[in-house]
Structure 1
Amino acid sequence: MTGDTHYDLEVLAELAEGLLDAGTACQVRDHLAVCDPCGELLADLAAVREVLAATPTPAMPMGVALRIDKALAAEAEQRRGGVDLAEAPDWDELMRDAPWQRPAEVSEPARLMPAARIAPETVPAEPVQAEEPVRLGVVADDGTIVPARRRVARRRRWALPAVAAAAAAVVGGVVVSGNLLVAGGDGGTGVSGQVAAQPQPSSPSRQPQLKPRPYALTQSDHNYSDEELRQPLERFLGPAPIVAGPETNTVASCVDRVADRTRLKVFAVDQGQYNGQEAVIVASWKDEAAKRVRLDVVDPYHCKNLRKPRLGRW
């Protein structure tokens, strides 16, 4: 009993299952007759038993059942002292084809093949060359053994002179044809005719004409900073040297792309640096009367903005 008045749940459960001895069971029943809380606990235990009894029991897997049967059979054999009265079944043989004993097979999808591939292809068999028997030698008149010679070496010997003769004929024909061409150049007068290659007048090289640009392209190589770009740009771009030539086409194409994006008139472009990185400073008129310009600092290779475009002063 817990304290002085009530029994534990374990004692009540043993009473419900009929596991208590007669004396203890009689005492517990006498207590339940006068104790309502213990009676309610016993009623709850009975309800739990009904719920468990109504729950379906899951089926035991066949593999587990076989293992239990094997263990019980082995224990029974030990209890009998090793005397086997009845031959135990061979469970491994009986359950060899059970689905849980076989590995899962993954079925591959059927592959459609054209009719040309279904038909067996007849491959011509290569002729098998008969191996020449090994010749040990020939016995001479004096009793010595002379090694036999093979025919392969003889076939190769006559092939070499034939190849050399064919090569000599080809070289001789080339020399004779060359002499005839040189001798017949003067119409049979005996003077060797040599045709001198007349030099063709060289056409003047066409140099690409540079298209005039509506802006001044300079190269100051100055390292601009944000503080300097807020100052009037005429002091930086004005004294810088103007550059021209085919090597500026890349910068010109980048400036054209900037002009297409801004739709403003570009009037000054300088090649320099921005915070230590190569950059092109593009100045476009935002308000020419007030000398307000738009500044685009772009990468000369990919024409991407190195900073956000801002307004400046000229």
Structure 2
Amino acid sequence: MTGDTHYDLETLAELAEGLLDVGTARQVREHLAVCDPCGELLADLAAVREVLAATPTPAMPMGVALRIDKALAAEAETRRGGGVGLAETPDWDELMRDAPWERPIEAPAFAEAPEPVRLGVVSDDGTIVPARSRTARRRRWAMPAVAAAAAAVVVGTAVASTSLLMASGGDSGGSVAPPPVAQPSQSAPAEREKDRQTARAYALTDSGHNYSDSELRMRLGKFLGPAPALKGDSEDADQVAKCVSTISDRSNLDVFAVDQGQYNGQEALIVTSWKHRTAKKVRIDIVDPFNCKNLRRPSLGLW
């Protein structure tokens, strides 16, 4: 890389933190020797690092510390007993319950829709007379029309039945043909599928993508949008619906997209809810698909 091109902030930040390998760090330093803009960015990052280091770290709530100590003691006791200590997924909701930054999310208050203004007619003296409603007049003649149509159907059915009986009356041994039975429509499964899609308020996809923390900070629309949608009922869909209902009740937000994939190599449900629809801000919940437990703390992202 020459002085005509520049490194991004992430690479410079990793250099400042000492996270780059020896070869890459040497290349970046050689570039900094000939590139003043990148050198200024690195100096700004160093200043930010000093400010963050001087900021006091808030103390961990006593309830959280006690629960962590209890969990560590239980794991140590299990290992001393000769058993194999399996790393279970922590219950982040329970551990972070007393954290000072956790606040209940309140549902936004929707303003009541204003009452529509009724139109009127300007009279000769300048006053406005409300326009007459035609609903009542339409209903007065609509009910007799419906009753007359129903009566015509009944009379027509009776006449048709009488004609069939008269045609077969001379032959006592003949049998009257049974009325035709309506066959089930071929489009019934498609209609049931359409009803299920209408009842489900969110899009369910199965991308199988292995999400990382860096990808979850990007716009999720490019991951969840092209993913194949799931159709039909299944045990997985029912279990996902129960988990989505639990998350929606817990966050008081509307879930609009759910993807079945992985998070850092572990099976997970990526549940997105609208936090601010106009600004395209969403809440992201990463949960275990089997017990609906959080695999990490809920966070905000962009759609």
Please state which band the TM-score falls in when normalised by the shorter chain: 0.3 to 0.5
Give TM-score, length-normalised by structure 1. Answer: 0.34
Larger Rg: 1
Relative CO higher for 1 or 2, CA cutoff 8 Å, sep ≥ 6? 2
